[in-house]
Amino acid sequence: MRRIYFILILIVACTTACLKSLDDYRIDPEAVNGAQPSSFLSNTLYTLTTTVIRAGHTTNNQLMQVAATKNNGNGPDRYRILPSVFTVFWNPLYKQLRNIETMLDLAQKRNDVNYEAIAYTLKAWAGSILTDTHGDIPFSNALLGAEQNTTPVFDTQQQVYDSLLVYLERANTLYNVNKVLSGEDLLFNANQNVANVLKWKKFTNALHLRLLMRIAHKSTVYADQLKAMLADPGKYPLMNSVSDGASLYYTNIIPFQNPYYSTRDFDFNGSDNYAKFFIDYLKEVQDPRLPVWATKTGSTYSGIPTGFPLSQQDAISGTVFSTYQLGLKTSSYLGSILQYAEQEFLLAEACLNGYMADDAKKHYNNGIAASCSYWGVTSIPDAFLSHPKVAYNGTMEQIITQKYFALFENGFEQWFEYRRTGFPVLNKGEEMYNDGVMPSRLCYPNTELTFNRANYLDVVKRIGKDDINTKVWWQQR
């Protein structure tokens, strides 16, 4: 019996040991235990950038007389905004904000300061686009669906901006520029080169500069923040060259393709042609970017008059106008987020308005050169730089007009800047909707009235009316 008991005990012990050993084999020592903050970066960057570029290519370009349609008298080029346009950013950007929030939470739990800083930066970028498009938006408690809050209140635009500025200030202090990123980075490859972590920090501060310039006129508090930032480049480093710019250079290798890579040629440049305002200006000043962007009509370039009388429809339909170069469909340069050129025009404006003591002309010229360089123009003709409309004359109109061209295919930034400054001075179409007045915002999607009714009605009561002519906070003087 003792021998039997011993054998049974030995069998149990061996079985237990074997089971324990099998359990050990079920664990992959090289597997990732839980999601990493880096796991969210590439998809978020690509989706955000692609969403912004697509919306800009259609709605912004028509609103801002970059492009116009031949055969449809009911588009944004005539200031008619259909309800489908109201959703171009709403759902896609809120979805990505949820991903960014998850990335932020994971980075904080893992004490990964660089991904935490990146998450704050991307949250500020996406949030700024939403509020600059719609005005007051759900923000402070808009991402609490997991906590069963599916009817978020609408923050005022000032509250949203105050949050965005806090995020960017915090991000700037978090970066560890002496340590490579722990995971992937589609924008700057800072996981491969420690020097590129500084590029993330520069992007953060350039975005901070963009937002402060947008609201500096609203309060001395914001103006003082702007002045303090510009007076301390050691604490707030900015971009120094085109290579520092935040642009998603599409590899055109699946899945990171130019958003128009697989689009039919006609869908890309057959329905939209360049507008007369855009083409005539570039042609007059002999801008070297013109052949990069536009096709010729015979031996020259020509654009459609915005808001042409519909009685001329047949003649317009039968006329060939300049349109987008097909090379833009596969261009790696279409993923512009915030270029060095934009930063330089912001600094030129800051000098002009007394926010910093520096040479406005220098930054203005840097902006022109940087935009040309970005688009592959290696030689800038003297005739262009010396043209009366281009050579610096110390006016806000000239700075913003040149900035307008530098913001080509940069989302809605042209429209945002026009609403802030009134420049460039666009042509007045003969037959326009909305009494020929540039829309000030996009309305809220109908889903807010349906699923968030009480809060929607509250915000409409606050802003006065949910229509395209209600000025957002920073437009109000």
Identify any residues that bridge with 338 across adjacent strands, giving them in sequence order: 246
Amino acid of residue 205: N
Tokens of 108: 């904080």
At residue 172, what is the residue type? N
Q: Which segments of 231-289 does DSSP mark as H helices, in order?
A: 265-269, 276-284
Q: Are 225 and 172 in contact (CB under 8 A)?
A: no
Residue 296 to residues 270, 321, 363: CA-CA distances in angstroms?
14, 8, 32
Q: Phi, psi at residue 342, to the nearest 5°?
A: -60, -45
Q: CA 333, CA 58: separation in Å to the nearest integer? A: 17
Two structure tokens written together for 363: 């930054």
What are the residues facing 300 on neighbouring strands?
297
Contact 387, 405 (CB under 8 A): no
Pairing state between β 67-69 and 154-155: unpaired
pLDDT (0 to 100) of residue 171: 98
Using CA atoms, how far apart are residues 392 and 469, in angstroms rounded to an integer?
33
Residues forming a β-bridge with 246: 338
CA distances to 11, 141, 149, 180, 392 from 138, in Å = 64, 7, 12, 35, 42
CA dihedral 98, 100, 101, 106 (to 10 degrees): 130
Largest CA distance in the chain: 111
> DSSP secondary-structure letter at 203?
H
**Rounded distance between C-alpha atoms, residue 250 and residue 302, angstroms:** 30
Q: What phi and psi, each to the nearest 5 degrees, are found at residue 247? A: -135, 135
Encoding tokens for residue 221? 């508090």
Phi-psi region of 391 (alpha: psi -120 to 50; beta: other; left: phi over 0): beta
pLDDT of residue 270: 76
pLDDT at 271: 77
**Residue 31: predicted pLDDT:** 47
> What is the reported pTM?
0.93
In 27-181, DSSP assigns E strands to: 67-69, 137-138, 154-155
Q: Does the domain formed by 37-248+333-470 have CATH 1.25.40.390?
A: yes
CA distances from 237 to 57, 72, 174, 243, 442 (A): 31, 47, 14, 15, 34
Mean pLDDT by 10 residues, the chain (477 residues): 53 49 52 78 96 96 96 88 96 96 97 98 98 98 78 97 98 98 95 97 98 98 98 98 96 90 87 94 98 96 96 93 96 96 98 98 98 96 97 98 98 98 96 97 97 97 98 96
